[in-house]
A and B are shown apart, each in its own frame.
Chain A
Amino acid sequence: MRGPARIAPAAPSTARPATSTRRAWAASVTAAWSLLSVRTAVAQMTGTVDLGVSTVHYDGFLPSGAAAVTPVLRWDRPAGMLTASGTYLRFESGHRSLQGLLAGSFLTPPAAHAWRGEFAASAGASRYLDFASFWHVVAEARLHRLGAERGLWVGGTAGTTSYGTAPRPVIAADVGVWARRSEVTLRLAVNHAQVGDTTYTDLESSAHAGRGPVALEAKLGARVWSRGGGRGVYGEGSATIWVGGRTAFVISGGRYATDPISGSITGRYLSAALRVRTAAPRRAFPRDPAVLHARGADGATVLRAARLEVHADRNRAVRLVVRVASAALVEIAGDFTDWQPVALGSASPDTWEVTLPVPSGVHRLDVRIDGGAWIVPAGTTRAPDDYGGDVGIFVVP
């Protein structure tokens, strides 16, 4: 949850490091949905900026208003992810704080019986005025068992944290389960952590539901045992409503527990933020119409780009149009040509086409320009073939 008010004066941050349990939950969700898509061979980089206002009431402090700017950059791969985030916060008093976090996780290849390993690390720091500075570095290892609709994990965390004094060791263990039904995902986890001489055990549950442009999230937890970390029940909720493709309103509120690892203290908050999704700066997506070059079907060679358009008629004749600049010969081969090259006719200087009977269903094809190597054209989905390269996939209704 990224409400701007989830901030303690000593560690103000909307994107403050989560507790080990929260990290485990987040990782489990990431794992649950990322691990199952292990065959995706694409990376995606996304960026968001939250501009928000909030009212916050930290335990032991007077309530205060605050404004925050939180940029987040996230790079996803099927086998892992990397997130960089920061927060600039200005309180009603005029005091300011800064916080930054870098986190990443790596997932091992699938093993038998749906077991997957995960290695994660995060490093963060925060500063409030000139007297409260925190930093932490932690590494985590986790073992997931993944099913289609449910899963479980067990993990351990080790690292160090400091808030201006001598660094304190961090040791934590967590175990949890998740289940998904339709658009709702439920999670339950237990986390036990020791941070220096502070020890605590959290029991947490969460629910996430998304339908259309609206995403809802709720968490309910309890610090059931603690020595130096406080006790109590806490809960948070948030709603994200996307308006158009790049803008969303985020409303969140609740009460969260002290996080001895990042240094945040218990507080209540209510916040509203405008989230703006930035253009993906380095997205490498196989269908991106802006792709200038296509890789060869051997997956390595950089070749001239081609883009395929599929026009299906009712009589099952399919017009395949390939757009490529400055070509003398354009051929296709696919499972509808017995993988025999078929030359396309030139419709215009940059447009080549052919009409063939292609039955309904999923099909595989490659394109060859001027007798070069076979390439996967843009406009198809690039997928690994069984021969160490890639093949283009398209669907005919």
Chain B
Amino acid sequence: MTLRSLLRAAVATALAAAFVATAAAAQDPRLGRLDPGTRPLVAVAIDSARAAGLPTEPLVQRALEGATKGAPGPLIVSAVQRLAADLGRAREALGPGTTPPELEAGAAALRAGAGPAVLTQLRRARRQTIAVPLAVLTDLVASGVPVDSAAAAVLALAARARDADLVEFRRAVERDIALGAPPTAATAAAAAAADARISQLNAGARENRPGRP
């Protein structure tokens, strides 16, 4: 090895160390709960996400969850990196104007098995924020509802339902499943009931409007 290559290696190492040190120095103070070996690596992952325009709070929370659960450092770093990748995929599917809660919910939906196309459809179907619809979708899938059925139900309701309607719909599915209904049938039945309820409410609202003079 020549002197020049040794110098090059030393400079590269120094730069890398400086980058890690800078990232660590600028890190969220809550990351102080991580062990010293893990902290800078998580900070680098978070900085990369920030540079990419992704929300960092979910990444911090994922790291803190690992710390509270006593997870090994490499696992925490891997979890943070994986979540950052999911957030990136969610933004691709949902578009650049997506809010951080929507991105976080979108990442969870993707992780649960929903395809990016479902996220895109949901974005088009609903004018309001889609954080809760995405959360309900994720929740349904985690409850045993096949992702296709869950997505179809949430998409069908998303355009007209309020967030509270969607949460109530999810509760109805949960209740029916607990009573013994297969998840798919429970979802379809609850979606139909929610749709009818929303239609009734809308019709009632129209009736209450003052008529034309």
Give the B-binding residues of A (Cβ under 8 A). Answer: 32-34, 36-40, 42, 44, 46, 147-149, 180, 182-183, 210-213, 215, 242, 245-246, 277-280, 283, 285-290, 297, 333, 335, 338-341, 359-362, 364, 366, 374, 381-383, 385-389, 391, 393-395, 397
A30 nearest in chain B by CB position: B146
Inter-chain contact A361/B132, CB cutoff 8 Å:
yes
A366 to B61, CA, bound (A): 13
Nearest-Cβ distance from residue A129 to partner chain B, whole angstroms: 36
Question: Chain B, interface size: which category?
Answer: 35 or more
Inter-chain contact A362/B192, CB cutoff 8 Å:
no
Please tell me which one of the listed residues B64, B135, B136, B151 contacts residue A338 in the complex, with CB atoms under 8 A apart: B64
Nearest-Cβ distance from residue A75 to partner chain B, whole angstroms: 12
Q: A246-B180, A335-B65 are in contact. List 19 more A-B contacts (CB 8 A).
A: A44-B182, A44-B183, A148-B148, A182-B156, A215-B185, A246-B179, A279-B180, A285-B143, A285-B144, A287-B177, A383-B112, A386-B66, A386-B71, A388-B71, A391-B65, A393-B108, A393-B142, A394-B139, A397-B166
Inter-chain contact B138/A385, CB cutoff 8 Å:
no
A340 to B33, CA, bound (A): 10
Nearest-Cβ distance from residue A243 to partner chain B, whole angstroms: 11
A215 to B170, CA, bound (A): 21
Please tell me which one of the listed residues B61, B142, B149 contacts residue A33 in the complex, with CB atoms under 8 A apart: B149
- A selection of 13 A-B contacts at a CB cut-off of 8 Å is A148-B115, A149-B117, A245-B181, A280-B180, A339-B64, A359-B101, A360-B132, A386-B62, A386-B79, A387-B65, A393-B139, A397-B164, A397-B167
Nearest-Cβ distance from residue A36 to partner chain B, whole angstroms: 4
Nearest-Cβ distance from residue A212 to partner chain B, whole angstroms: 3
Inter-chain contact B143/A286, CB cutoff 8 Å:
yes
What B residues does A287 contact at CB under 8 A?
A: 143, 174, 177-178
Inter-chain contact A360/B101, CB cutoff 8 Å:
yes
Inter-chain contact A37/B69, CB cutoff 8 Å:
no
Instruction: Identify the 4 closest CB pairs spanning chains A and B, nearest first.
Output: A212-B192, A386-B79, A362-B135, A33-B146
A46 to B144, CA, bound (A): 13
Q: Which of B131, B146, B156, B181 has its CB near the most chain A CB atoms (within 10 A)? A: B146
Inter-chain contact B142/A39, CB cutoff 8 Å:
yes
A339 to B42, CA, bound (A): 16
Inter-chain contact A386/B146, CB cutoff 8 Å:
no
Known: A213-B192, A362-B104, A395-B167. A386 touches B180 (CB 8 A): no
The interface bits of chain B over 112-142 (1 if a CB of A lies within 8 angstroms of the residue's CB, else 0) are 1101011000000000010110111011011
Q: Is B68 an interface residue (CB 8 A)?
A: yes
Nearest-Cβ distance from residue B128 to partner chain A, whole angstroms: 11
Please tell me which one of the listed residues B62, B67, B144, B179 contacts residue A40 in the complex, with CB atoms under 8 A apart: B144
